Amino acid sequence: MLIKIKCPKCGIEGSLSLTESGYQGPYRCWKCRELFTIKIDNNELKSCEPLSQEEFEKQQEIEALKAKFKQS
């Protein structure tokens, strides 16, 4: 499933491929490189909040840690 996401900053449309009908996490605009936290429910974009680089990295760290714990 390909979800269309319109960047609130530059207005360009990007897409995100999903394996499930819901998603909550970071999205980066391919054009202006701005980061957002998006929420998709039932293949529909429900919210799009600006995300700072710092916050993004924090989230990535958390995800990396989660993956580590899953493996062991």
Strands (E), the chain: 2-6, 13-17, 23-28, 35-41, 44-50
Kindly list the residues in this chain that would bind Zn ion in the complex (CB under 5 A). 7, 9-10, 29, 31-32
User: In the complex, what is the shortest distance from the CB of residue 9 to Zn ion, in angstroms, rounded to a whole number?
Assistant: 5
User: In the complex, what is the shortest distance from the CB of residue 66 to Zn ion, in angstroms, rounded to a whole number?
Assistant: 28
Q: Please, what is the Cα angle at 69 between 63 and 72, to 5 degrees? A: 145
User: In the complex, what is the shortest distance from the CB of residue 55 to Zn ion, in angstroms, rounded to a whole number?
Assistant: 17
Nearer to Zn ion, 29 or 51 (CB): 29
